[in-house]
Every structure is written in structure tokens, then in C-alpha cells.
Amino acid sequence: MKRILAFLCMISLLCGVFCLFGSAEGKAIGFYIPRAGNKRPRLPAEETVIEEHGGYYIDRHVDDESERRVLYLTFDAGYENGNVEKILDTLAAEEVPAAFFVLDHLILENTDLVCRMQKEGHLVCNHTKNHKDMTKCQKEEMVKNLTDLEKLCEEKTGCALAKYFRFPEGRFSKDALMTAEELGYKTIFWSFAYADWDNGKQPDPARAKKKILENTHNGAVILLHPTSATNAEILPELIREWKAMGYSFGTLDELTTE
């Protein structure tokens, strides 16, 4: 009997260890990076796991002292309200490439706009089908969500999504990162974002522009929402000021080259 009890205790202990391990792997993390002004920000320790599983938030090829100055413009685009088209007009006029992380709504309701993104040399990337929190999904559900968007994009536009992924609201886990990696995706986070997403509470254009410029740093991956009226208004001036500061604009293909 003592041997049986000891064996059962050992099994219970091992199960507890495995459960804890599984919980840690699946722990939801809200991506956050503290600002450092015009210096490159540092990733918090608990988030360094992204770099181990195909994740990027900043250009690793440059630093604060590099002669090459480069920025990466990325947009999370769920729908069109007139401002996405304005953003595209500005990018075309300034000859600046960008990456758009899209949902199914934009592909279904504004197919021509998505085709325009692709035609004008921008990357159209995966932001999930419906902006669902992937940390609350089983692996099979996440796989289906991402692959369903791939199929929809090809069906509606005739073009494949670029193999770049962004978690809705930046909520991720190690398990979810690994699933995206298994699907062939590189996961793109950011080194600068600001509160631009609420269309009913848009930031003052002058203050927004000041905030963005005061936090521009070399190799920055900048996250903006193209539905923002403020962003649509200030983007032409922002791009021209960035150019005057010596910055060029890179693509995610360049960002993720090892």
C-alpha cells in the first residue's frame, strides 16, 4: 500500500509540473514596450520570447548610432471609413512602402482597396479573420482563423497574403507564437504606437504629430491605424519631416532578413 501511495504521489507531482509548464507556455501577455524618446526602446524581459519564435518589433540591423536611418510603417486595417484611401494616396504621393494587417471585413467590403494596396507595392498581411484574441483559442481554432483569411484573400483578390502576422491588440502567448511560426509566419509587433484607434476620440493633430516625432527612433516599427482621421491629416507632413531627418522607409522583408 505504501508503494502504491508513493507512486500515486509521484504521478500527481509530475502532472502538477506538466500542468504548470503548459500554463506558462499558454500564458497571455499583452505586448508593451516603454518609450525612450528618440532612443531605441528596450523590450521587457518577459516579452523577449517573441525573438525566439519569429517575432520582430524593431530593426536589429541598426542602432542609435548607425549612419543608416530607417523606419517601417505598419497599419492595422479592419475596415474603411474614407481614411484608409487617404492614407494610400499619401503613401503613393510620397513613394513610401507600408504593410497593412487586415481582417476579413476589409477584404469582403473593400476588395478594390486591398487590391490597390497590393498593386502599389504594399504588403497585405494577416491580422486574423475577425480580430479574435488568439490566446483564448485552441491551436486548431487559431490555425483555422489564419488560414481562412488566407483563402479569402486569394479568392477575392487573386493574391496571397504576405507571410506576416500581427496579434489583435498585441495579446500573445508562447504557444500562439509557435503556432504562427509553424504556419510559416513572422510575427510583427512594434516599437511605437499611440492612442489613435478611437474614431470618436481622435487626438489633436498637432499634439499627435509632436508625440510621434518625439518618439521616432532608428529602426522603429511604427503602428498606426489608417481609420484615424488624425493620422490621415498628419501623415503627409510626418513623412516629409521624417525624410528631412534623414530617414528612409523599409519593408518587412528587409526588417526580417537575418
pLDDT in tens, 218-234: 999 999 999 999 999 99
Q: Which of 124, 141, 240, 236 is nearest to 188 (CA)?
A: 124
pLDDT in tens, 58-86: 999 999 999 999 999 999 999 999 999 99
> According to the model, what pLDDT value does residue 15 have?
32
> According to the model, what pLDDT value does residue 26 have?
81
pLDDT in tens, 192-201: 999 999 999 9
Quick one: pLDDT band at residue 169, thresholds 50, 70, 90?
Answer: very high
pLDDT in tens, 11-57: 332 333 222 233 467 899 999 999 999 999 999 999 999 999 999 99
Name the percent of the chain lying above pLDDT 70.
Answer: 91
pTM of the model: 0.90
Residue with cell string 510626418: 238
How many angstroms separate the CA atoms of 50 and 189, rounded? Answer: 9
